[in-house]
Amino acid sequence: MLKLSDIQTFYGPIQALKGVSLEVNQGEIVTLIGANGAGKSTLLMTICGDPQAREGQVVFEGRDITQAPTAQIMRSGLAVVPEGRRVFTGMTVEENLAMGAFFQTPEETERLLDHVLKLFPRLKERYTQRAGTMSGGEQQMLAIGRALMSQPRLLLLDEPSLGLAPIIIAQIFEIIEQLREEGTTIFLVEQNAHRALSIADRGYVLEHGHIVMQDTGEALLNDDNVRRAYLGG
């Protein structure tokens, strides 16, 4: 479904990704773990074309999107829940969700809205409230809801558990699994390696801009090196 080959991405003179290749297949949950500054977010954003890869190729559903403008990529069946959530704080929950459904027909929007509010009943309670006044967990739910409003076939998630209470994290991971059952493919970038690997079919480990390991989620969870480096022994 998504295939990255030998991706190199730069921020000015600094090379953040030094030739990364990975693959996400239809119906999978694939996770990418790694330490702070390993290049995880950069990798995720490179898929979105912001920034664009300098070398290598990003292919989504058979089409090369490496050089495509961000807006065009995001209209082709991908959606992202970016680092820091980036909900529109000055807008209500309703308006944020409507922004996600910008290119949907009114009937589709209605149906998607129903679906999202069922997944996150909390958003229904906060429906006319400004996003900026909500808690971090609620904003994260909104960011995921907004992404789902575009009916993505591939959902990219950047550290959805960051800074949230354990009970909220559990809820969010449950939702991610539920989305996969509904047929959405998921690419999950996480620092919370234990949780991420537990639900993932496959995982990649990124260090200093290189993929250093790849295996099934379970195998990585039981790997000694991974345990030492990312799971606290």
Residues that bind other proteins (CB under 8 A): 48, 50, 69-72, 74-75, 79-80, 82, 84, 86, 88-91, 95, 98-100, 102-103, 132, 146, 150
Contact call for residues 129 and 92 (beta carbons, < 8 A): yes
Cα 210 to chain center, whole Å? Answer: 19
CB of 207 to other proteins, least distance (A): 26
Beta carbon nearer to other proteins, 27 or 90:
90
CB of 9 to other proteins, least distance (A): 16
Going by C-alpha positions, the residue among 150, 142, 156 that lies closest to residue 49 is 156
CB of 95 to other proteins, least distance (A): 6
Beta carbon nearer to other proteins, 78 or 176:
78
Instruction: For residue 65, give the 3-state DSSP assignment.
Output: coil
Encode burial over 68-103: b for 16+ CB neighbours within 10 A, e otherwise.
Answer: beeeebbeeebbbbbbebebeeebbbeebbbebbee
Residue 159 DSSP one-character state:
-
Beta carbon nearer to other proteins, 186 or 226:
186
Beta carbon nearer to other proteins, 9 or 197:
9
CB of 18 to other proteins, least distance (A): 24
